Homo-oligomer: A and B are copies of this chain.
Amino acid sequence: MIAQLEAMQGAKAVDTLQASAVAFFQFYSTNHAYFDLLVTKRAELVRESGVDIVQDFEEAGRGAVGPIAKAYSAGIESGDFRRRDPEKMAFVLRAVAIGMAVGFREGNLKFPDDVALLTDLVLNGIIQS
């Protein structure tokens, strides 16, 4: 997934963000047990693991956030995105993607049909301008 993102260096920031979200939704739908453990058992996993594992774990987390922050920065520089802290925004966008993935799994939201609704929300917000 990260390799895919890095290959998108030349792409528009919006396309990079959407592609990363879709890649995550697809990955999550077949691998959600891993994420479930991270959410519900994080403290236990960290406590019961060696220092190396915890470092790998933290790096994997940063690995997902880094490319999103980079895409956000690129979007600010091109004048497309609002000027916000790119790393904070990466964590917020990651949070949005995690919640949406859970919604897809519950079945209240449909993948890929409802991705467009989420993209529109993230890009334009709900306020009628």
Chain B residue nearest to A99 in the complex (CB): B99
**If the complex has contacts A81-B127, A124-B82, are A95 and B103 also in contact, measured as CB distance less than 8 A?**
yes
**How many copies of the shown chain assemble into the complex?**
2
Q: How far is the CA of A91 from the CA of B124 in the complex (A)?
A: 18
A128 an interface residue at 8 Å Cβ cutoff?
Answer: yes
Chain B residue nearest to A108 in the complex (CB): B91
Q: How far is the CA of A124 from the CA of B122 in the complex (A)?
A: 8
A75 an interface residue at 8 Å Cβ cutoff?
Answer: yes
A114 / chain B contacts, CB cutoff of 8 Å: 88, 92
Q: How far is the CA of A80 from the CA of B126 in the complex (A)?
A: 8
A39 / chain B contacts, CB cutoff of 8 Å: 36, 39-40, 102, 105
A interface residues with partner B (beta carbon < 8 Å): 14, 36, 39-40, 42, 61, 65, 72, 75, 79-84, 88-89, 91-92, 94-100, 102-103, 105-106, 108-109, 114, 117-118, 120-129
6 contacts between A and B (CB under 8 A): A42-B106, A81-B127, A88-B109, A89-B117, A92-B100, A121-B125
Extra 10 A-B pairs, beta carbons < 8 Å, given A96-B121, A99-B102: A36-B39, A39-B102, A80-B127, A80-B128, A82-B128, A92-B117, A94-B108, A95-B102, A96-B100, A121-B122
